[in-house]
Amino acid sequence: MNVFTRNIKDIQPSQLYISKTKLSKVEEYLDSVDIADIDPLPIKKIGKNIFFTDGHTRAFALMKKGIEEVKVYWDEDDLDWLQYLICINWCNKKEIKTIRDLRDRVVDDEDYQKLWNARCDSMQKRTMNNLDYYIDIRTISEGTEKSDICELVLRALPTWFGIEEAIKEYINGVKDKAFLSAYIGDVPVGFLSIKDHNEFTSEIYVVGILKELHGRGMGKRLVKAAEDILINQNKKFLTVKTLGSSHPDEGYKKTRKFYRAVGFYPLEEFTEIWGKENPCLLMVKNI
């Protein structure tokens, strides 16, 4: 575990309330120990959001003591990050940006159960049965907004987009292309950009989903939304280029599996497009 310090004001909560009873116990504990000896708090960064994944009561108690710099570590647990982003959206709607913003939300146990635990239980059930309730696919028209979302997502995916020159090319290239973004509340979590070739064919220019949300259907929803747009334009084919199977990269093995799952078929692998070290696989889907 890599422990470091961070200003408590730079970390957003991911819950809306603090239990009064639990807070009293934590404050009693902190009064009995050296603050330097308490365990570090887990935090996570998804996109531009840095938030507490646990330890809100400890963080709140430390804030009350006037402590600004707290020990933290990056949470590497395999948690349901989509649910955390839903909680972040709840906090954003209530203008809860720092742990201090919870000072008027310290409630007794009965209210904590009703206001927070019950709300989370309901949300967890809904994400299992009706995920579309929380996911919004938007068409983005403003060029700068397209670039900002593209950069946010691509820089969070170094395994797939690790070449700075290519990242900059995509950031600039999406400005004049059709662009769809997946949101959880006001948090962009993925995007897909479309490049037109002719009256019959378009291409997925670039697509990216934050790694923490892979496998949650974001990419599938973006491809479907893109296809709906292209069908209305009477397009017949949608293509995509990706790293070919002759390259051993495990990340792109998953990428090819995703494209096959949403109906793309491999046509041909080329070494002339990206060079021999990066074989380019052309895939196509009849829409």
Q: pLDDT tens digit string along 61-95? A: 999 999 999 999 999 999 999 999 999 999 999 99
Task: Tell me the mean pLDDT in the region 148-171.
Answer: 94
Q: Are residues 199 and 229 in the same domain?
A: yes
Let me know whether 140 and 19 are in one domain: no
Q: How confident is the model at residue 251 (pLDDT cuts 50, 70, 90)?
A: confident
Among 74, 104, 129, the domain boundary falls at 129
What pLDDT is attached to residue 32?
A: 92
Q: What is the mean pLDDT of the chain?
A: 95
**Does residue 138 sit in the same domain as residue 110?**
no
- Same domain, yes or no: 91 and 228: no
Distance, in Å, from the CA atom of 255 to the CA atom of 275, rounded to the nearest integer, reads 19
Q: Predicted confidence band at 24 (pLDDT cuts at 50, 70, 90)? A: very high
Comparing 159-163, 212-216, 259-263, 265-269, which segment has the lowest mean pLDDT? 159-163
* pLDDT tier at 250, thresholds 50, 70, 90: confident
pLDDT at residue 8, rounded to an integer: 97
C-alpha radius of gyration, the chain, whole number: 22
Question: What is the rounded CA–CA span in Å between residue 287 and residue 1?
Answer: 48
**Crossing angle for the helix pair 118-129 and 81-93, nearest 10 degrees?**
130
- Do 65 and 148 fall into the same domain? no
Instruction: Answer whether residue 159 shows pLDDT above 90.
Output: no
In the prediction, which pLDDT does 64 show? 96
> How many distinct structural domains can be found in the chain?
2
| pLDDT of 47 higher than 90 | no
**Is the pLDDT assigned to residue 113 strictly greater than 90?**
yes
Q: Torsion angle of alpha carbons 92, 96, 98, 103, nearest 10°?
A: -170
- How many Cβ atoms from other residues are within 10 Å of residue 264's Cβ? 22
Asked if residue 151 and residue 52 are part of one domain, the reply reads no
* 181 shares a domain with 90: no
- Beta pairing class for 280-286 and 237-243: antiparallel
Residue 53's CB is within 10 A of a number of other CB atoms, namely 18
For residues 103 and 140, membership in a common domain is answered with: no
| pLDDT value for 44 | 97
Which of 181, 173, 164, 232 is closest to 205 using CA atoms? 173
Is the Cβ–Cβ distance between 143 and 176 less than 8 Å?
Answer: yes
Report whether pLDDT(248) > 90. no
C-alpha neighbours within 13 Å on the C-beta side of residue 70: 28
Which residues are registered as beta bridge partners of 241?
A: 282
Q: What is the CATH number of the domain that holds 80?
A: 3.90.1530.10
- What per-residue confidence (pLDDT) applies to 105? 98
At 117 the three-state DSSP class reads: helix
Q: Which of 228, 234, 17 is nearest to 116 (CA)?
A: 17
Which domain covers residue 31, as residue numbers?
4-129
SS3 21: helix
CATH of residue 190's domain is 3.40.630.30
Residue finishing a domain among 114, 129, 144: 129
Same domain, 278 and 139: yes
Distance in angstroms (rounded) separating the CA atoms of residues 180 and 160: 19
Tell me, what's the pLDDT at 36? 86
Average pLDDT over residues 14-30: 97
Same domain, 111 and 149: no
Same domain, 108 and 23: yes
Average pLDDT value for residue range 239-249: 92
Residue 170's closest CA among 183, 184, 157?
Answer: 157
Last residue of a domain, one of 79, 110, 129: 129
CA pair distance 220, 227, nearest whole angstrom: 11
Task: Name the DSSP class of 96.
Answer: -
Mean pLDDT of 121-144: 94
Q: Are strands 280-286 and 265-270 parallel, antiparallel or unpaired?
A: antiparallel
Which residues pair with residue 112 across a beta bridge?
none
What's the token pair of residue 53? 């994944």
Query: 158 and 278: one domain?
Result: yes
